[in-house]
Amino acid sequence: MQKTLFLVSPRGFCAGVARAVKAVEDALDIFGAPVYVKHEIVHNKHVVSALREKGAVTVDDLAKIPKGAVVVFSAHGSTPLQYEEVKRRNMRLIDATCPLVTKVHLEVHRFLKEGYAIVYIGHKGHIEGIGVLAEAAGIVIPVIETAADVASLEIGNPEKLVYLTQTTLSVDDTKEVVAALRGKYPQVIAPPIEDICYATTNRQEAVKHLALVCDVVLIFGSQNSSNSQRLAEAARSVGVPSYLIDDVRDLDMKVLEGKTRVGISAGASAPSAVVSEAVDFFRALGFGVSDLVVKEEAMVFSEPLDMMRIKKEQAL
């Protein structure tokens, strides 16, 4: 019986992740090791490990970074207090926050200035949300994760209300939460441009197409990666078993028993090398390989302004 491995596109690195990883690599090239990274630059153990080997030191507490050191802020965003601390301690900052996350930070300021109450849809305690909520400077923004949370939401009935969201949420789950919000608060408005990022939306759509032609779907990404977790959920939402693994060494071969059509995707923070390794693995098992292109993706972000300035200084 013919066995086929389907590789779906788009998958893997998004523009924000590629930008952040390159910022760390460029900083190491220019300044040498160590370069400090506040929080994991992206949520993938292979990426973090590879940068560590080059001299990147990941910390979650800025107090652990020496004064005057070079520090890169991760793609997930940071709090105003963290920017102030970097300035106060004379660190050389390279801010690799994803531009689409920065957009949500700016929306907090805009809507509060315009007199709106804000509800944030996201995973409680996620690093991205912590940075966004901190922009409110003491104003409490309620966080909701599910439609059920809306029922217990107690914010009165503000005349002006807007919801903002984490960039890496499940598109389907978020639609349910928004519908519940609109049912309880008909006046609630959406941000002018959807906060869930293009890469999250595209990869979830692609995985659903993939699942329709497969017996099982493997998602490459780390367990702490929100967007990778959502991809596995997207495949399961159409009734196909899906497993999130860092690489083929984590694969339980039992999940392949009786399966002749295996699908592969990768989270937005997963490097292409893990997919290439998986392709070699499945070819060795007798699988043919077929590409399934659901959507073309050509988004590219310019490098951080801090890095542009540094390179300009280096060129003088």
The string of pLDDT tens digits covering residues 111-126 is 999 999 999 999 999 9
On the question of a common fold for 15-98+301-315 and 100-184, the answer reads: no
CATH topology of domain 15-98+301-315: Rossmann fold (3.40.50)
Q: In Å, what is the CA distance from 243 to each residue of 43, 221, 255?
A: 17, 10, 9
pLDDT, residue 315, reads 82
Compute the average pLDDT of residues 271-279.
Answer: 98
Is 314 a residue whose pLDDT tops 90?
Answer: no
Model pLDDT, residue 177: 97
Question: Order of strands, edge to edge, in the sheet holding 143-144?
Answer: 143-144, 117-121, 161-165
What does the pLDDT look like over 57-92, one tens digit per residue? 999 999 999 999 999 999 999 999 999 999 999 999
Which pLDDT score, from 0 to 100, does residue 118 have? 98
On the question of pLDDT at 271 being above 90, the answer is yes
Q: Mark out the alpha helices in 135-220 (DSSP H runs).
A: 147-151, 171-184, 198-212
100-184 folds as: Cobalt-precorrin-4 Transmethylase; domain 1 (3.40.1010)
Domain residue extents for the chain: 4-13+198-293, 15-98+301-315, 100-184
pLDDT at 149 > cutoff 90: yes
The yes-or-no answer on residue 313 being catalytic is no
Q: What is the pTM of this model?
A: 0.95
Query: 4-13+198-293: what fold?
Result: Cobalt-precorrin-4 Transmethylase; domain 1 (3.40.1010)
For 288, the token pair is 């043919």
Decide: 51 and 27 in contact? Cβ < 8 Å.
no
Of the residues 40, 107, 128, 135, only one is catalytic, namely: 128
63: amino acid identity, one letter: A
Long-range (24+ apart) CB contacts under 8 A made by 34-37 are 34/69, 35/70, 35/71, 35/72, 36/65, 36/69, 36/70, 36/71, 36/72, 37/71, 37/72, 37/74
What single letter denotes the amino acid at residue 33? A
